[in-house]
């Protein structure tokens, strides 16, 4: 009887462990035809931008300046794009950029990165963020410049 109980306990614990998610689903609600950079700074002391958790998706509403601060500690995520009615939008994959016309609109990136910011003489803080760019193919920038990201962060504190 003890062996059977141990087997059931093992199967139960194995089942509980396998259902845990390592990657979160993140929905970016991008304003219609938004053009510019999008920065989401994680693990912040405040939220900037509208946030919503619905049906297992973390929705980040991108404001007109493209900067979101969130208290969320999301580390990795799978991104999907939505309009204001939370209807999914598909943009061409960044793998197909070369096939697009110069005036085609896309949102691409999803580049996770971080930088260090000296808070005071004895403390350095690691700032985690994800970067996207949106607009016409002819105008998007896929390069992440740490100095620019640092400036955007400091201007929004």
Say if CB 49 and CB 30 are below 8 A apart: no
Distance linking the first and last C-alpha atoms of the chain: 61
Degrees, nearest 5: CA angle 46-85-72: 20
Tokens coding 58: 């973390």
pLDDT tens, residue by residue, 124-140 = 889 999 898 888 888 87
Return the minimum-mean-pLDDT range out of 18-22, 23-27, 93-97. Answer: 18-22
pTM, rounded to two decimals: 0.74
What average pLDDT does range 14-25 have in this prediction?
49
Confidence of residue 4 (pLDDT cuts 50, 70, 90): very low
Q: Per-domain residue ranges for the chain? A: 22-155
Mean pLDDT estimate for the chain: 78
Confidence of residue 19 (pLDDT cuts 50, 70, 90): very low
Return the minimum-mean-pLDDT range out of 37-41, 75-79, 153-157. Answer: 75-79
Say if CB 93 and CB 107 are below 8 A apart: no
């Amino acid at each position: 009887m003890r062996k059977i109980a141990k087997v059931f306990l093992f199967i139960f614990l194995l089942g509980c462990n396998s259902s845990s998610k390592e990657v979160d689903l993140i929905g970016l609600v991008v304003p219609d035809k938004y053009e510019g950079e999008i920065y989401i700074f994680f693990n912040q002391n405040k939220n900037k931008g509208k946030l919503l958790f619905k049906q297992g998706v973390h929705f980040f509403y991108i404001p007109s300046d493209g900067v979101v601060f969130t208290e969320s500690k999301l580390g990795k995520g799978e991104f999907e794009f939505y309009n204001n009615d939370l209807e999914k939008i598909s943009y061409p994959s960044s793998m197909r950029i070369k096939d697009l016309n110069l005036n085609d609109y896309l949102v691409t990136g999803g580049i996770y990165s971080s930088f260090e910011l000296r808070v005071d003489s004895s403390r350095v803080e690691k700032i985690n963020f994800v970067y996207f760019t949106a607009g016409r193919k002819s105008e998007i920038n896929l390069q992440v410049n740490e100095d620019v990201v640092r400036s955007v962060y400091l201007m929004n504190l």
